[in-house]
Amino acid sequence: VDCIFCAIGRGEIPANAVFESDEIVAFRDLDPQAPTHVLVIPKEHFQDVADLSERNPQLAAKLLAATTTVAELEGLADGYRVVTNLGADGGQSVWHVHFHVLGGRSLQWPPG
């Protein structure tokens, strides 16, 4: 498989999905850093959020809106974090754009 998140988007690799639409899937991170740790991706491949927002801003807005849906489904009314890592210095490890939705505990700031 070329891109693991493309494969998840196509349903070829199992994921623990919490939300899905024709264009987007949200699924639990394999290595959760909080009680809720969900990744929200477009099924179409974009390497990072800069690539996505440049080439398809409408889909970028839908992806952001999907993070709100995840927070509602997960009951994160007390607050949560939406973050996307970009590039080597940003700590990106999977080169298919994803928003992390983290919550269910009090989160620290700043990141390391």
The catalytic site residues sit at: 98
Contact call for residue 85 and ligand AMP (CB under 6 A): yes
- 35 near ligand AMP (CB under 6 A): no
- Of 109, 111, 100, nearest to 36 by C-alpha is 100
6 is a contact residue toward ligand AMP (CB under 6 A): no
20 is a contact residue toward ligand AMP (CB under 6 A): no
Of the candidates 84, 30, 31, the one whose C-alpha atom is nearest the C-alpha of residue 60 is 84
> 22 or 31, CB closer to ligand AMP?
31
Tell me how far apart the alpha carbons of residues 20 and 23 are, in angstroms, rounded to a whole number.
8
| β-bridge mates for residue 52, sequence order | none
Residue 92 binding ligand AMP, by CB under 6 A: yes
Distance separating alpha carbons of residues 94 and 47, to the nearest angstrom: 8
Residue placing its CB nearer to ligand AMP in the complex, 77 or 110: 110
Q: Which residues bind ligand AMP (CB under 6 A)?
A: 4, 15, 29-31, 39, 85, 91-94
